Chain A
Amino acid sequence: MTDATLSPGKAVAAVKRPTGASIGPRWSNALFVAPYMVFYVVLLVYPLFKGIWMSMLESDMFDDTSKFAGLANYYRLFNDKIFIGTVWNTVLFVLMTVPVFVAIGLLLALALNRSDRTSATLRAIFFGTSVLSVTIVTIIWKMMYMPGNGAIASLMRLLGLEPIAFITTASLALPAVAITTIWWIIGLPMMLFLAALQQIPGELYEAAALDNASRWRSFWSITLPSIRRTMLVVVIYEIVAQFQLFGQAQLLTQGGPNNASRPIVLFIYEQGFRSWNLGYAAAASEILFLIMAVAALAQFFASRKRVEE
């Protein structure tokens, strides 16, 4: 792009020298957003609508003839115990992880909201795991959970306890995935809370100290109210993120045992690429999208409320 294409040059004739940008709307300004919009429309908007269309087809991955089926896929979904199970699992997983992310994240942030070297190192440790990829994290945790040879089993045996079979007991598989997830990405909520804590003026704590407030009182009366918004952001962000559980479950438990840890996204993946039921998979995707959209909407309203405050 040269300057000439972007500068309107309206008044150029009047003044000999080249003139710069002017205020106000110009069509040429749209050129700045155009490149991104191409990607946005082609790779997000189009597939979104194509997905909605596909969800109303009965189509097989390798069958060129797909026929319109209306809402049949959705009807089938709502009667599919496995799918309902995956929704339930996902919700359970969210319920298991999000409160922990908030509680532990906040606790760590509170403890590490200091400027010394030790705290910096500790922050680095807790955040460091977040940069690992899901495959590596699951390899590491398989080694922790392995029933016979895993670290946890060995440790429990050492303490004379019967090892707990985490990933192989229906009731413990999802918690095991949750623990792995928390270990993996606790750093993010911690950092978000840290950032929020650092926004709280130190003077407030000093005023409270002069007001005879105990540490605990300061926490309830100053810290908590001050980070309300971040709390909300973290909660919603984590809900959205954890609803998209896939890799940990696929690699750690394959959704088992007995579907106990199968999340929605794994269901979508398996319907699509194992059962070749594209329409069905697309319909499940749309349900996921709907849930996410509600969460996003909640976030939008939450953040708007802040502006009004």
Chain B
Amino acid sequence: MAASEHIVGRGIGNKLILFSVILVAIMWMLPIAWTLLLSFKPNSELMISTASAFHPPYTIKNYTDIFQSSGVFRWLWNSAVVSIGVTVGILVLSSLAGYGFARAEFKGRDIIFVLVLLGLAVPEQAVIIARHQMFSDLKMHNTYPAIILPGLSSAFGVFLMTQYFKAIPKDIDEAAMLDNASRFKIFWKVLLPLTIPAQATLGIFSFLGAWNDYLWPLISATKPEMFTITVGMASTQTNFAQSEGLGFLMAQAIFAGLPVFIVYLFFQKYIVRAVAGAAIN
């Protein structure tokens, strides 16, 4: 407990707790360590037994193979396009709508806002069949828009941004009104720059959500060249791959997990803040 850190007489207890958590954390990392270890083993050895993972020979062939062959690059690219598309889209729409719901009055606004909030209760799976039919009828599957657009209907971002805009002191808008700024100018020049922390939060959530989305891309992106990394990795997890190319599969998993993990390490501070912020709302 942060608060009791200084309190006299609590030191030893704190150390004990920390020590046990370190033990748990080591256990937590075991699966990844195991995967990493396997990824450096030749496939043929693993076909007989994974016990060989604990002794040489080790090889980086599994990784170099990725560069030669697999669709992983294309899938990573697709994931990047989709995730960025979703993120940008959500940021634009949610910022505009959040400002609207928080600050720009019009008749019926509050009712519409409640209706949007109800949308938070609709799980994607509940509309996935109908959505798939819609995009089929429009012949839009296997395109970036098809993978991106459904993500933009999420009410979460609007909710978050509305809360955030509401939390900005109203006197800033009022000062801008007295400064003769128009509605859009107040939004664009005065308030939007203040929401950058919220944009970061929402952006991170949206990006991770889109990057890791599975069900929708699974049924919408059915051409291998349109697979996202998530779907692509799923397509390689077959029995055949496990029996004959285990090391390669592990290398692919590590490799595919790397970009977003690096993003995570880079933005960790913001991500943590984002989650914490979400908790308080």
Contact = CB atoms under 8 A, between A and B. Distances in A.
Asked whether the complex places CB atoms of A and B closer than 8 A, the reply is: yes
B230 A39 contact: no
A21 B279 contact: no
A71 interface: no
Contacts of B4: 202, 205-206, 209, 215, 218
A239 to B, nearest CB: 12
A128 interface: yes
B106 A138 contact: no
Interface string B123-155: 111111111111000000000000001101101
Interface string A32-48: 11011101101111111
A36 B132 CA distance: 21
B195 interface: no
Contact of B51 (A149, A191, A296): A149
B82 interface: no
A268 interface: yes
B1 A197 contact: yes
B131 A43 contact: yes
A215 B13 contact: yes
A65 interface: no
A91 to B, nearest CB: 16
A118 B92 CA distance: 38
A203 B7 CA distance: 11
A44 B280 CA distance: 27
B124 to A, nearest CB: 8
**Interface range for B:** 35 or more
A127 B208 CA distance: 13
Q: Is the interface of A mostly helix, strand, loop or mixed?
A: helix
B130 A48 contact: yes
Contact of A136 (B124, B132, B257): B257
B183 interface: yes
A44 B149 CA distance: 11
Contacts of A123: 272
24 contacts: A33-B100, A40-B119, A40-B153, A44-B155, A47-B127, A51-B126, A54-B130, A110-B1, A113-B2, A114-B1, A118-B22, A124-B265, A131-B208, A132-B260, A143-B34, A188-B275, A192-B276, A196-B279, A206-B4, A209-B7, A218-B4, A247-B234, A269-B215, A288-B126
B263 to A, nearest CB: 8
Interface string A145-187: 0101111001000000000000000000000000000010000
Contact of B97 (A28, A33, A112): A33
Nearest to A144: B31
A25 B107 contact: yes
A291 B68 CA distance: 47
Contacts of B49: 148-149
Contact of B230 (A18, A50, A135): A135
Nearest to B230: A133
B51 A289 contact: no
A221 interface: no
B50 interface: yes
A29 B106 contact: yes
Contacts of B123: 240, 243-244, 288-289, 292
A273 B275 contact: no
Nearest to B162: A33
A132 B181 contact: no
A307 interface: no
A297 B3 CA distance: 35
Nearest to A157: B51
Given A45-B119, A138-B237, A292-B123, A7 B182 contact: yes
